[in-house]
Structure 1
Amino acid sequence: MTAKRTFAVVGAGIIGAATARELSRRFPDAEVVVLEKELRVAQHQTGHNSGVVHAGLYYEPGGLKARLCRRGVGLIRALCAEKELPYIECGKLVVALDDAEERRLEDIFDRAVANGVPGARMIGAEEIREIEPHATGIAALHSPSTAIVDYAAITAALIDDVVADGGRIRFGCEVHRLEDRSDGVVLHTSLGEVRADQVVVCAGAQSDRIARRSGGARDPEVVPFFGQYFLLEPAYRDVLSGLVYPVPDPMYPFLGVHLTRRFDGETTVGPNAFLSLSREGYRGLGLDLRDLGEALGSGAFWRFAAHNAPSAVREARTVLSKRFFLREAQKYVPALEGAQATRLTRGIRAQAMDASGRLVDDFAIAHDGRVTHVRNAPSPGATSSMAIAEHIVDAVSARHGLAG
């Protein structure tokens, strides 16, 4: 009797969960096991983000981000409908405050059109007020199909499907390294050895470490950036009906402070982006000496910092002062003057960086023998998760001649 083919997926964030589900659906006779070091799913990046389903405005046409984001939107929407999970198309405005920002916004609009973002259009000040009466700006890009969801609930639903299909999830099982042998892959874990025919590593902030310990390339390396969110007091929860974003600063790789409605009806302000003192510390100081030492000891990080010092100073002010943080948001929604806000647990972005200090912008997926490493999957990683899973399984199937 021929032994069942075994797939192991490392990590039960949304990309790991989506990949395990895709494997279980594509190969119904195979065994699929998910190894997760925490005791629940979605405990890291997936459970600490803004919940936005991105429509595909910003991404280089033809790149993985653009293609997989647009595909991922449809898959996430369909899953939410099937599982009766919230999927709220609240829409989004990317608002320009001056002529220079408006010119940059025109370039983003061109990308949105090239990426096939439905309903994307440029609007003026009067129409901004029609869509969001409390918002202000000289022009905006309106994306009516941008939505909000509960990514943790989606991840749980994906894992439920894996288990219903006969797969397993092992919680409290931390993977240290992988050994690709002639007869399969051995995963060295905190609970002993696990064997599999193929492995997909979706380890987020730990992805570079697992790859290096398994014989993979040093680069790209992960440098963690934290994003602080604030919850507006109840009197301001209805100040917006959708999302309001700034025009991205071309001198800084993150989107800047924006306002986001959540699926539960609350409104948040954030995030900023600043070097995190740890890869997984979401509360308090969040200091991990190993993580911080590794980041500060990275030549790539210092090369990045040298090119982004002015923006880093601005971001530092938002870290140190809640008042300054909220003033940044008031530029777009003046009605927030005097508003109070509560600090939420932060998010941490596992941002891959190459040796030159350049942030890896697109998704980075490396295939090494029987092992596939997801080396970079920042925003819109959650939006694209189910499409990333399709992409990975297609590649694994082609490389190893697997018939589903």
Structure 2
Amino acid sequence: MADTTGRPAPKHHGLSAKTLRSLEHASGRLASASVAEMERRLVWFARLPADQRASVLLITQTGASGFVAWLRDSKEALQLTTEAFRDAPTEVSRWISLRQAVAMVRLAIEVFEEQLPEFAASEAERAALIEGILRYGREIAFAAANSYAAAAEARGAWDARLEALVVDGIVRGDAEESVLSRAAALGWDPAAAATVLVGNPPSDDPPTVVFDVRARAARVGRAVLLSVQGSRLVIVIGGPTEGGPKEREILARMSTVFAEGPVVAGPTMPTLAEAHHSAAEALSGLRAVVGWPSAPRPVRSDDLLPERALSGDPGAERLLVDRVARPLEEAGAALQRTVETYLDTGGVLERCAQTLFVHPNTVRYRLRKAAELTGRNPTDARDALVLRVALTVGRLARARGLW
């Protein structure tokens, strides 16, 4: 065949101009046959609403037209194949998964392989068409993967921003409803217990931090919400973290995702709606933990009450009064005076008994009683510090008329 200048018409991929024109005219039929095969062989596809199936037909027709254009100029292959998905409705990826999209591409390629040979004028053209559709199908598959990857990245970026808003709301103690609704959108169970863990982020790259935290959370089997807030990493851990060794081990394993330095855990709250209390105490503990260089990692905010009180945390002062000073006073002057004298004598039992003019066994009994009331054993060095600070805070609060 010759063109208008009398020269032979050019061939593309070993195909004549006549074959290309025939393919171009039949592209709509090929696309319809592909969609019909999808309806027959893919159960889930047949159940799609009519408008969604029509969208798939439109994409398939664009792909079929792109195949003919690709055969004419393979140098534009990537651009042409990408166009098959560029004009697709943005919601397609919401109701068709990547696995399902690959299944549709595979079926369309099979239909094209079956029907293309009838357009070939020779065995050479037949082979060229089969090779072309296979190569073009590969390009289509890559284009689909890129389209879904871009959609996933966009959703991931949005989820990350939403998650940061949730954690920021918990830290700032925002309205419960907004925090809970956003957390629910992220798949968090609002009725699950929540514990806030704070420390230094292990990296300056937030995506790396998010990956490390989620990988660790997956290994311990817990849901998490996290946010990198400047020089600190805030993690909300779902489920109980107090009680038996297994629950306490959760905090120890999650603390490994933080950089070197202290890691503080707030109290476990019954629901996410109350998690702001855990966050407030954890952050208070993080500011005060420098006063206890040998603090364990992680350390509970309740174990940092003396340091928090000395740093000016009124909440810690109230807790020391409620948990230690008031129970000792209400138990009687003798018990409180025994604890104070024991601490003042440097923890020497005999000297304490001599100062009080009682038998050492009486001192032992009273110290055990004090430990039962406050949960702090005066014979333990750390608990002795808590008791001393609590008694001092209690006296100051009473002097100011706060108790």
**TM-score of the two chains, using structure 2 as the length reference:** 0.21
Structure with more contact order per residue of length (Cα contacts < 8 Å, sep ≥ 6):
1
The structure with the greater share of residues assigned to strand is 1
Greater percentage in helix: 2
**TM-score, with structure 1 as normaliser:** 0.21
When Rg is computed on C-alpha atoms for both structures, the one with the higher figure is: 2
